[in-house]
Chain A
Amino acid sequence: MRAAVLLCGDLESAAVWAARADGEVHVVPHLCERPEEIDSVLRPGQVDRLVLGLCSERGPNAEVQTSCRRLGIDPLGVEVMALGGVSPGPGRVLLAGAVARVKAFEGSRPENVKLVRPERVSRRSFLRLSAFANTSVPSVDPDTCAGDRGCRACIPACPREAIAWSRGRIRLDREACEPCGLCVTACPAGAIVQPTCTAAQLEAQVVAILSERAEEPTGIALVCDRSEPPETHEGWIPVRIPCVGMAPATWLLAPLLMGAGSVAVVPGERGCSPRAHAAVRDRVDFIRDVLRLAGDPEARMADGPDLERAPVPGAPASFAGNPFEPSTASAVIRSILGVRGPSGLSLPHPGSPLGLVRIRADACTGCGLCAGACPTGALLVDESEGAVEITFDARACVPCGQCIPRCPETIAGAITLVPAVDLERLGRGREPLYEGGTARCVACGGPIAPLAMIERVTKLLGTEHAPAAAVAAKYCMECRVSVPV
């Protein structure tokens, strides 16, 4: 993937950055005044990705995006950075991170593009048909989505009610979407993708930042797109995400495992949902508890005032794989806690990225609906000869809660879910939570239902319907029709 950096010639340190950067860098006089003239600097097909270093913050620009398309560059993957007033050292680091991030951009689908509606369409802009810039919104992969199994985890996660189940699939209303990304990390199946903020991009950006800063203590600040970058000690490097509410607890731990000394979150100042802010607080508290249990200084999970001080030194990178990927959540937690934390640790916490399911054997009827609803396969049901078994793997549970409403015995407390980390259960791998027998048809020998379910249904039908219940307990659906009444 070939990337180019275009720097506005009015930036004080543009020449310094251009001299020291790897890869293709162009210093363009007065780029800020005419950013759309990038196609006078680059040829079509010359590069696939682009970073623009400008003097001040810019929103999506229709003319820049048009120029990008002419050059064969997907405009959604372009990073536009405000570098006015940034010192040479930090600027070099920011640019390295931005280049790595755009190179990890995998492209967008048509569903990821949203027209940015201008507040007012002037006759002049409409005459040029260039009034409409585009921004990136998440899209749903119908092949990965577990909506057909009843999962609706994304719907309540959206603060704008932009997601609904409609005409047989989960659909995102791009008009209503103000891309915050909360649905992306709420989706337990990984079916919702925001192409400008993927696990691969975040990993690439953090690796590049830490590589540029080599041995210097570095803090990674996850900064909301809607907030102004805070004034910080130069050891803190911002990594922008659509909303800090989308960051699960493992994103806060990931930089620490990659070699950063500290991590912080900088929430947005306006237009953010209170629920997202509350979730962030829970996750920060969880991280602090985890770090304390691991014997790590709490300063590694920093707060606002801490950003004015140097971050603490980090440990060498110690994680194989991408710690931003949802599938590595259990490995991330065990990496932090497994060696240094107390053995037998069980930490229930609302900010936990993992969960624990318990099934009461005396209330469960073995129907397996919980396993059918589980989007990650943490719960599985096995119905082999004469038996039904429901198993659970704590490593795969992302406490989405989809299993709970599907259970017909919820009132009896047959199944419970707690957001929690339990090292022992994580270490056990898949374990049985329920085992029971299956009734067989006296006529054909085929399975009827779990014995516990038959017992439950018989009890519900009562004495008035006892004969019907007795037939249902002995014969399968097909053989039942031949039984004389």
Chain B
Amino acid sequence: MKSFPRDDAADGSGGTLARLRHGLYRFFAAGFLEPDGNRVAALRDVSAILSSHGLERFAFFGPWDRLVRTLRENCDARDVISEYALLFSSAVGRAVVSLHESDFTVPAGTPPGRVLADLEGDYAALRLGLLDHLSGRPDHVSVEMEAMAALCDREAEARRLRSPECTARTVAGERRFLDRHLGAWFPVVAERVGRSGAGGLYPTLVAAAHAFIVHDRELVSVLGGVAEDEGIQ
């Protein structure tokens, strides 16, 4: 994962916020991939870096802090692998919770293909291309998180280049993606994981991701206004 950038005066404050959000989305994207022995250590290290950027300013800090403490309390890699399998993987029978948007179709009975087609259309409209190894699962939560990370990166660049039009367009794209996709179905994941009674790393990861996504959805609607504020780009 690329290292998180320092505050950069050339980015301006809006760019700093966009880069912070980019880092958080990438962190969560990595968190929901199938774990391996190194994953927990990497998540622990990155969470410490992100925490040093004053996340207590944001409403999702409580669940984030609990996640950081859980990661620090020496999550055993083998435990994490079996927790992931039991909670999310249908390879061990029926998964408790799916991490694919197409499994949360509304209205019930909507063909998953319809969801996937809409999603791929939205990726194309946002000029986001899927890497080959991800094209089979464009609706996995990690892929959607990476999409948001890419948009935040684009926003940071637009602010750095002092392009208010590009900034506004990108922020609008973030809002739309959260409304239509990640922000619409991930809260249901959080509800189901909460009801499952599962312990360990993943319920705290899901709770932190849920709080972040809900907060970010609000933030992008405010950022849309700030992008046009005089002198702030």
- Using CB atoms and an 8 Å cutoff, list the residues of chain A in contact with chain B: 62, 66, 69-70, 72, 74, 110-111, 113-115, 117, 120-121, 123, 126-127, 129-130, 132, 134, 142-143, 167-168, 174-175
Taking A66-B56, A113-B59 as contacts, is the C-beta distance between A132 and B222 under 8 angstroms?
Answer: yes
The chain B residue with its CB closest to the CB of A168 is B106
Bound complex: CA of A114 vs CA of B217, how far in Å?
A: 10
Sorted nearest first, the 6 A-B pairs with minimum C-beta distance are A110-B214, A168-B106, A110-B211, A69-B56, A69-B61, A113-B59
Cβ of B210 within 8 Å of any chain A Cβ, yes or no, is yes
Bound complex: CA of A174 vs CA of B221, how far in Å?
A: 11
- Whether B191 and A129, one on each chain, are in contact in the complex, defined by CB atoms closer than 8 angstroms, is no
Bound complex: CA of A116 vs CA of B16, how far in Å?
A: 21
A312 to chain B, nearest CB (A): 45
Q: Which of B88-96, B119-127, B225-233 contacts A (4 or more CB under 8 A)?
A: B225-233
User: 7 A-B contacts, Cβ less than 8 Å apart?
Assistant: A110-B60, A115-B222, A129-B13, A142-B191, A143-B191, A168-B108, A175-B221
Known: A115-B222, A126-B226, A174-B218. 11 other contacts (CB 8 A): A69-B65, A110-B210, A110-B211, A111-B214, A113-B215, A121-B226, A123-B232, A129-B57, A134-B59, A175-B218, A175-B221
- Whether B218 and A115, one on each chain, are in contact in the complex, defined by CB atoms closer than 8 angstroms, is yes
- Whether B184 and A167, one on each chain, are in contact in the complex, defined by CB atoms closer than 8 angstroms, is yes
Which residues of B are found within 8 Å of A70, using beta-carbon distances?
Answer: 56
Cβ of B107 within 8 Å of any chain A Cβ, yes or no, is yes
Which residues of A are found within 8 Å of B211, using beta-carbon distances?
Answer: 110
Q: Which of the residues B16, B107, B215, B232 comes within 8 Å of A110, measured between beta carbons?
A: B215
Cβ of B85 within 8 Å of any chain A Cβ, yes or no, is no
- Whether B232 and A121, one on each chain, are in contact in the complex, defined by CB atoms closer than 8 angstroms, is yes
Taking A110-B214, A127-B13 as contacts, is the C-beta distance between A121 and B229 under 8 angstroms?
Answer: yes
> Count the B residues whose beta carbon is within 8 Å of the partner chain — how many?
32
Bound complex: CA of A129 vs CA of B57, how far in Å?
A: 7
Which residues of B are found within 8 Å of A175, using beta-carbon distances?
Answer: 218, 221
B162 to chain A, nearest CB (A): 14
The chain A residue with its CB closest to the CB of B106 is A168
A256 to chain B, nearest CB (A): 38
Which residues of A are found within 8 Å of B191, using beta-carbon distances?
Answer: 142-143
B53 to chain A, nearest CB (A): 9
- Whether A66 and B62, one on each chain, are in contact in the complex, defined by CB atoms closer than 8 angstroms, is no
The chain A residue with its CB closest to the CB of B184 is A167
Cβ of B187 within 8 Å of any chain A Cβ, yes or no, is yes
Bound complex: CA of A130 vs CA of B14, how far in Å?
A: 12
Cβ of B17 within 8 Å of any chain A Cβ, yes or no, is yes
Question: Of B57, B59, B226, which is in contact with the most chain A CB atoms at under 10 Å from its CB?
Answer: B59
Which residues of B are found within 8 Å of A132, using beta-carbon distances?
Answer: 57, 219, 222
Which residues of B are found within 8 Å of A120, using beta-carbon distances?
Answer: 229
Binary per-residue interface labels of chain B (194-233) against chain A in the complex, 1 for a CB within 8 Å, 0 otherwise: 0000000000000000110011001101100110010110
A232 to chain B, nearest CB (A): 36
Which residues of B are found within 8 Å of A114, using beta-carbon distances?
Answer: 218
- Whether A168 and B57, one on each chain, are in contact in the complex, defined by CB atoms closer than 8 angstroms, is no
Bound complex: CA of A115 vs CA of B214, how far in Å?
A: 11
Bound complex: CA of A115 vs CA of B57, how far in Å?
A: 12
A111 to chain B, nearest CB (A): 6
Bound complex: CA of A130 vs CA of B226, how far in Å?
A: 14
Bound complex: CA of A126 vs CA of B15, how far in Å?
A: 11
- Whether A113 and B214, one on each chain, are in contact in the complex, defined by CB atoms closer than 8 angstroms, is yes
Which residues of A are found within 8 Å of B218, using beta-carbon distances?
Answer: 113-115, 174-175
A72 to chain B, nearest CB (A): 8
Taking A66-B57, A167-B106 as contacts, is the C-beta distance between A129 and B16 under 8 angstroms?
Answer: yes
Instruction: List which B48-84 residues lie within 8 A (CB) of chain A.
Output: 54, 56-57, 59-63, 65
Which residues of A are found within 8 Å of B56, using beta-carbon distances?
Answer: 66, 69-70
Bound complex: CA of A115 vs CA of B191, how far in Å?
A: 22
Question: Of A74, A114, A132, A143, which is in contact with the most chain B CB atoms at under 10 Å from its CB?
Answer: A132
Q: Which of the residues B17, B60, B65, B107 comes within 8 Å of A168, measured between beta carbons?
A: B107
Which residues of A are found within 8 Å of B16, using beta-carbon distances?
Answer: 129
The chain A residue with its CB closest to the CB of B187 is A111
Bound complex: CA of A175 vs CA of B224, how far in Å?
A: 13
- Whether B57 and A62, one on each chain, are in contact in the complex, defined by CB atoms closer than 8 angstroms, is yes
Q: Which of the residues A72, A117, A123 comes within 8 Å of B231, measured between beta carbons?
A: A123
Bound complex: CA of A62 vs CA of B63, how far in Å?
A: 18
The chain A residue with its CB closest to the CB of B180 is A167
- Whether A74 and B219, one on each chain, are in contact in the complex, defined by CB atoms closer than 8 angstroms, is no
- Whether A126 and B14, one on each chain, are in contact in the complex, defined by CB atoms closer than 8 angstroms, is yes
Which residues of A are found within 8 Å of B107, using beta-carbon distances?
Answer: 168
Question: Of A74, A110, A175, which is in contact with the most chain B CB atoms at under 10 Å from its CB?
Answer: A110
Which residues of A are found within 8 Å of B210, using beta-carbon distances?
Answer: 110
- Whether A110 and B13, one on each chain, are in contact in the complex, defined by CB atoms closer than 8 angstroms, is no
A126 to chain B, nearest CB (A): 5
Binary per-residue interface labels of chain B (1-38) against chain A in the complex, 1 for a CB within 8 Å, 0 otherwise: 00000000000011011000000000000000000000
A270 to chain B, nearest CB (A): 24
Bound complex: CA of A174 vs CA of B16, how far in Å?
A: 26
Q: Which of the residues A72, A123, A129, A174 comes within 8 Å of B54, measured between beta carbons?
A: A129
Question: Of A120, A127, A174, which is in contact with the most chain B CB atoms at under 10 Å from its CB?
Answer: A127
B135 to chain A, nearest CB (A): 26
Which residues of B are found within 8 Å of A115, using beta-carbon distances?
Answer: 59, 218-219, 222
The chain B residue with its CB closest to the CB of A171 is B184
Bound complex: CA of A134 vs CA of B62, how far in Å?
A: 14
- Whether B13 and A117, one on each chain, are in contact in the complex, defined by CB atoms closer than 8 angstroms, is no
Which residues of B are found within 8 Å of A62, using beta-carbon distances?
Answer: 57
